[in-house]
Amino acid sequence: MSHLPAIDIHIKRALISVSEKNGLIPLARRLNNLGIKLLSTGGTARAIRESGIEVTDVSEITKFRECLDGRIKTLHPNIHAGILARTTMEEDLNTLRELGIQPIELVVVNLYPFKKAVSRPDTELGNAIDKIDIGGPTMLRAAAKNFAHTSVLTHPGQYDAFLTELEENDSFIRYDTRLELARAGFNHTAEYDNLIAGYFNSLEDKIPPRQINISLPEAHGLRYGENPHQKAGVYGEVGHYIDCFHGKELSYNNYLDLDAAIQLMRDFGDEPSCAIIKHTIPCGAASGDTLTKAYEKAFSTDTVSPFGGIVIANRTLDLITAQAIDKIFTEIIIAPGFDDEALELLTQKANRRLVRLKNAGGDVPAFSFRSIFCGALAQEADQLAADPSGFKAVSKRTPTAEEMKDLLFAWKIVKNVKSNGIVFAKNGKTLGIGSGQTSRVDSSEIAITKAGKFGHSLKHSVLASDAFFPFSDGIEAAAKAGASAIIQPGGSVRDQEVVDMADKYNMAMIFTGMRHFKH
């Protein structure tokens, strides 16, 4: 049947079988008040009946009792013929009459909590398998496929609007509503299947797995993408991580900058720290005794680039820090919290976005993805924390305690700088940053030039490089600029020449043994 009848459908019978019982009784009561006959299974039927609402067990319809510990309840022609019947076709209606089956115009199903079960690290395979729903997805897919004649509800958040439409239209539901609910139903089963497939893929000893299934719900649409002619949206559980509670809606580019800011700040512990991000690159970062000092040190790195940028803090933002940030136009401020006085000041500018970071340390993605011409690239996320115990001092002179502290600080920053990445730092603050150049020497020269431009002496500073130095000229340039210690991965065929150059200038050099390219 190629043509779907775009007509309102009268709801007479509803099949309800839900794992999530929230909203169940109000739903059942309002359907019952409309004279809609309720069919149900297991615990759902029991809950409805205990609330004094009349309900018919599915087993009475199938003439077959539930079996195999409830695994078989609704997988029966008397159920699925009722769901799949095209009730505008006389042929289907005649078949139902011959078989003694009545149509089911509404299916309300949500599935076993598989995601919750496998989120626990101690979940055994057998327990995970028990949470794989079979009958539920089958009913959902059947009802969604037959949306021209049947409605499907998958989430308590849908109940109220659906019931209101029924109550206002004498138990009839519109075609457009059914189409939208079918779309949600198919997305629900697709996400569920992806969760299961992802879990089974994770069981094999292969990283990345041989197949990756991604199912992300739309969080909300965006005005446009990187440029106004590009349509865009943001997907995933955005609200679980951030809350943009003041200012304009976040843009596509804002989300990219926020991601860069959050990734950078994850590497910092409890010491008050701030970073300023512009076009996904840190233009200043620092730690200090107070959040205000950390911000002022970060801002002093480059007092031009922060205009229109993003500030991220790892502590609740206080009034004094807010006043310091408020001196220039800052597009977004992100922090775990905001003092009342800070909020009173910062909310005076209507267009400035304020973002509360709700889940900074948890749920780190296992993989990162990038789209390419043929599909996507996948890799383990670069979440490997610096481990000084694995570092190797390769120069004649070892770093002082103060140098080592700054080297670790600079190493955290350069990890988040676009390759080729160079960072000069001292006293827990960036002095010059060079990024995204086609040679490491160019990045070094830019970092040195910018440090000089903003009045920063590089004497006794440290330098971090995201990858090895292929030639010794970069070390000589850093020494002449004033750097006294360098941290880099090592691994060049000319490592010895590089170390010899460091020794020539009495520099301390650390090999980390790990690279942090960020293309």
Q: What values do phi and psi take at 123, rounded to 5?
A: -70, 125
C-beta atoms surrounding 64 within 10 Å: 14
The residues, ordered by sequence, that sit 6+ positions from 35 with a Cβ below 8 Å of its Cβ are 171
Contact 316, 309 (CB under 8 A): no
Distance CA 396, CA 508 (A): 7
Query: Do the bridges between strand 172-173 and strand 9-10 make them parallel or antiparallel, or are there none, so unpaired?
Result: antiparallel
Q: Would you tell me the crossing angle of helices 77-84 and 135-145 to the nearest 10 degrees?
A: 30
Token look-up 């509360």 returns 356
User: Do 32 and 42 contact (CB within 8 A), yes or no?
Assistant: no
Structural contact between residues 114 and 129, judged by C-beta atoms closer than 8 angstroms: no
C-alpha 63/C-alpha 319 separation (Å) is: 70
* pLDDT reported for residue 72: 66
Catalytic machinery residues? 145, 279
What per-residue confidence (pLDDT) applies to 427? 95
Pull the structure tokens for residue 23.
């909203």
Q: Are 508 and 502 in contact (CB under 8 A)?
A: yes
Q: Strands 106-110, 13-18: parallel, antiparallel or unpaired by DSSP?
A: parallel
Report residue 262 as tokens.
């959050």
HSE value, Cβ hemisphere, 13 Å, CA-based, for 377:
7
Query: Which whole-number Å values give the CA distances from 83 to 11, 96, 104, 330, in the listed order?
Result: 12, 11, 5, 56
CB 430 within 8 Å of CB 284: yes
Q: How many CA atoms lie within 13 A of 364 on its CB side?
A: 13
* Nearest-angstrom CA–CA distance, 65 and 385: 56
Closest by Cα among 286, 306, 260, 264 to 431: 286
End-to-end Cα spacing for the chain = 51
What pLDDT is attached to residue 399?
95
Q: What is the pLDDT of residue 311?
A: 97
* Residue 383 three-state SS: coil
Q: What is the DSSP letter of 489?
A: -
Cα–Cα distances (Å) from 142 to 28, 272, 409, 426, in that order, read: 22, 55, 57, 64
The Cα 380–Cα 378 span in angstroms is: 7
Rounded Cα distance, 273 and 335, in Å? 11
Helix (H, G, I), strand (E, B) or coil at 429: strand
Contact 108, 92 (CB under 8 A): no
pLDDT value at position 482?
93
**In a 3-state reduction of DSSP, which class is residue 17?**
strand
Residue type, 444: S
Structure confidence at residue 87 (pLDDT):
75
Q: Residue ranges of the alpha helices (H) in 307-439?
A: 319-325, 340-346, 401-414
- Please report, in tens digits, the pLDDT of each residue of the chain (519 residues total): 456 777 888 889 999 888 888 889 999 999 999 999 998 887 888 899 998 998 888 777 777 666 566 666 666 777 777 888 887 777 777 887 888 888 888 999 887 676 766 666 676 776 767 677 777 788 898 899 898 889 999 988 899 999 999 899 888 989 899 899 999 898 888 888 877 777 777 777 666 767 777 777 788 889 999 999 999 999 888 888 899 999 999 999 999 999 999 989 988 888 999 999 999 999 999 999 999 999 999 999 999 999 999 999 999 999 999 999 999 999 999 999 999 999 999 999 988 999 999 876 556 667 788 888 888 888 778 877 777 888 899 999 999 999 999 999 999 999 999 888 999 999 999 999 999 888 888 898 999 999 999 999 999 999 999 988 888 888 898 999 999 999 999 988 999 999 999 999 999 999 998 888 888
Give the closest residue to 69 by CA, choosing from 163, 149, 164, 135.
135
The amino acid at residue 358 is K
Helix or strand holding residue 96 (H, E): helix 90-99
pLDDT score of 1: 47
Q: Phi then psi for 368, rounded to 5 degrees?
A: -115, 150
pLDDT in the model for residue 69? 62
